[in-house]
Structure 1
Amino acid sequence: MAWPSTRSLALLVVLVAGSAAVLSAQRGGLRGFGLLGAGSGTAPATFPDRHFVICRLVYPQGRQFAAGWRTDYPLGETNLSIRFGELTRTQVSTASDGSPNHYLVRLTDEQLFQCPMLVAGDISSMRLSEEEAGLLRAYLLKGGFLWTDDQWGSTQWAVWMEELAKIFDPAEYPMVEVPLSDPLFRAQFEVEAVPQIPNIQYWRSTHDTSEQGADSATPHLSAVRDHDGRIMVLSSHNTDIADAFEREGEDPDYFYQFSPKGYALGVNILLHALTH
């Protein structure tokens, strides 16, 4: 794949705003996929092509009433995949109707190792068994990539760090802040800061961006790298980047304030994952 040229954020606003309406056919729900069930979103035994596809990690939950793995699904993946194909030269895997493929996968599924990347929301509600932690570790060390998003405040971060310690020894594989000088922030768009993006309901009621007040005032992007420096786990904390994708056609004010910045970082992350 040819290395993309850097585009301005202003151009991104124009490109995305030009087609911000989301097709009603893409506004389906979970389509019957439960933690123990299988639906049309389940990853097939063999992926239909070798084009780019996002896999949503379906993880066991410790908090019964949390949205858990369903957070920002399915429109987060649908809209990000569409924009990724529009804004880069990447070939995105598509279904027969032209909509982008994106799959649901458990850590115990054989299809896990066909996924170029995993996304996971509300990761502080995840509770992994020893077997699941080992499978995720193997996937990541073999070249896989996990992006976690939408965890807020010190308590949720501490819980996520406890789960991450099941996967990697933090002494050998520490979670470290990604500096703004990292190439990730310039993969396609110039991103000068990690944007703080609240969920749309919180923003509508408060017009604030920090969902947990002073405890989540500063957004972070942190990473666990392998011994060669490749990012294996990327965590966006004190921000809900995926809501910028999921809600792009829902509220014009929210869209113009948050979606371009969210897409700029999201596209950069996907490109970085594919080229490293």
Structure 2
Amino acid sequence: MKKQVLLVVSLFFAVSASNAQQIAILKYGGGGDWYSNPTALPNLIQFCNSNIDTKINPEPETVEAGNVSIFKYPFLHMTGHGNVFFNDEEVQNLRTYLLSGGFLHIDDNYGMEPYLRRELEKIFPDKPLEELGTDHPIFSQKFKFPDGLPKIHEHDGKRPQAFGIFEQGRLVLLYTFECDLGDGWEDPSVHNDPEEVRTKALQMGANIVEYAFKS
């Protein structure tokens, strides 16, 4: 039965070829602000379309974790500051999405950590988050980051870390922590980040998009 479900969903991805390079924002329950950083993703998309030859819709749609519409998008972006909760239906939907070719980037906007790890264990109880080494291909796409994930905002002053969940060698989920790429993608007036910092954030974001679309 599981194989049949994955086959059906894989066909869903195949017939959604018109969305082969599209990104959506993941809406989740629990009270966390999934809608934070409203200018971030549009700015990243504009940067990607200009620098890595993507043709992503400049206005990303929002999809709910338990809705079949997530399968229209090969790339989901998730962010926020607080609580995250997935019910059983959402857990199954997200697991099937990721195992059948989807990619989820979770960018901790500061404060998601304990809630997120709890929910990820529900989706993949047998697949713990693994820290990506600096030699992972995601750091050497169009833009080179030999030292790994850049530090965009200080928060607790800890080093930035990129964690992943893999399925048969494929990175299906990327969790960026103590970095806050999304703040760096936002309009300059929002956080008053130096242009050099914003550029690093956008370049790393473009690497993630490029890697996900190629894998």
Tell me the TM-score normalized by structure 2. Answer: 0.85
Q: Tell me the alpha carbon deviations over residues 181-232 of structure 1, each in whole angstroms, 9 at most, x when there is no partner.
A: 111101111112311212xxxxxxxxxx2x13xxx51110110010x21111
Q: Tell me the alpha carbon deviations over residues 24-55 of structure 1, each in whole angstroms, 9 at most, x when there is no partner.
A: xxxxxxxxxxxxxxxxxxxxxx9894352210
Taking the TM superposition and a 5 Å limit, the aligned residue runs for 1:1-276 are 49-62=18-31, 66=32, 68-73=33-38, 75-93=39-57, 100-122=58-80, 124-152=82-110, 156-169=112-125, 172-193=126-147, 194-198=149-153, 209=154, 211-212=155-156, 216-226=157-167, 228-247=168-187, 249-250=188-189, 254-276=193-215
Question: SS of 1:197's equivalent?
Answer: coil
The count of residues paired between Structure 1 and Structure 2 equals 200
Is the 1:51–1:91 Cα contact (8 Å) retained in structure 2?
no
Q: Stretches of 4+ moved more than 6 A in 1?
A: none
1:151 CA drift (Å)? 4.6
Question: SS of 2:206's equivalent?
Answer: helix
Question: SS of 1:254's equivalent?
Answer: coil
- CA RMSD after TM alignment: 2.2
Is the 2:109–2:183 Cα contact (8 Å) retained in structure 1?
no
Seen in structure 2, the aligned counterparts of structure 1 residues 197 and 252 have a Cα distance that, compared at 3 Å, is closer
Question: SS of 2:195's equivalent?
Answer: helix
Where is the strand percentage greater, Structure 1 or Structure 2?
2
Q: Percent identity?
A: 25
Cα distance in 2 for partners of 1:148, 1:259 equals 18
Q: Structure 2 regions of 5+ residues with no counterpart?
A: 1-14
Is the 1:149–1:236 Cα contact (8 Å) retained in structure 2?
yes
Seen in structure 2, the aligned counterparts of structure 1 residues 123 and 145 have a Cα distance that, compared at 3 Å, is farther
Give the letter for the 2:140 counterpart: R
Cα distance in 2 for partners of 1:152, 1:269 equals 20
Q: Structure 1 regions of 5+ residues with no counterpart?
A: 1-45, 94-99, 199-208
Is the 1:147–1:235 Cα contact (8 Å) retained in structure 2?
yes
Is the 1:218–1:238 Cα contact (8 Å) retained in structure 2?
yes
1:124 CA drift (Å)? 4.7
Is the 2:109–2:182 Cα contact (8 Å) retained in structure 1?
no
Give the letter for the 2:170 counterpart: R
Tell me the TM-score normalized by structure 1. Answer: 0.67
1:88 CA drift (Å)? 1.0
